[in-house]
Amino acid sequence: MTTIYNQGKVAKPNDPFYTVGKCLTTVQARHLVDVSENTNGDIYVLAESLSYATRVHRIVSATTTGALTAATNNDIGFYRKDADGVLVAIDADILIDGANYASGIALGTDLLSGLSAADAVKSIGELLGLGVDQEPSGGVVLALTMNTKATTQDRTLDFDVLIEQATR
């Protein structure tokens, strides 16, 4: 007989998230994609003030989003704010690179479902290869970048972003 542990426990055997569990924080991120005003490269903030020791657990579509016609190149990653509060990419496509939302997003879709098992258990800092001593003041911003704008009809993006807060 073989004892088989979940992938998280195998990767991080001392992390309580994979044994007794930890509370997750949910950030509601709801944005109107207004086709009369959006442009290529628009950045939709999903969560802010995140520590490098934090882990993004899931980004789940809370509603069905209709077709975002022409929105064929979407990225999800991390930004920092400069001294003027302007977002500056740290790695804008580290979680999702080039996702196609032209046909819409189904209710309950986890946008991060394509992450490898190794990446799914990594903290933000581990994903970026940066230590907490390199964290920007005020933390980092998780955002979706719509590199190719939607073109035909206004739609609402409605996501529940589940964050595993650092406890170590």
Query: pLDDT tens-digit profile of 91-145?
Result: 999 999 999 999 999 999 999 988 887 788 899 999 999 988 999 999 999 999 9
Query: pLDDT tens-digit profile of 63-87?
Result: 999 999 999 999 999 999 999 999 9
The separation between the first and the last C-alpha atoms of the chain, rounded to the nearest angstrom, is: 34
Q: What is the pLDDT of residue 58?
A: 94
Helix, strand, coil distribution of the chain in percent, nearest 5:
10, 40, 50
Q: What is the pLDDT of residue 165?
A: 85
Phi, psi (deg, nearest 5) at residue 11: -75, -40
Q: What is the pLDDT of residue 168?
A: 56
Q: Taking residues 38-54, what's their average pLDDT?
A: 95
Query: pLDDT tens-digit profile of 146-155?
Result: 999 999 889 9
Query: pLDDT tens-digit profile of 6-44?
Result: 787 888 888 777 776 778 899 999 999 999 999 999 999
Calpha distance 120→3 (Å, rounded):
22
Calpha distance 142→113 (Å, rounded):
16
C-alpha distance from residue 68 to each of 10, 28, 73, 124 (Å): 39, 20, 11, 28
Calpha distance 89→37 (Å, rounded):
22
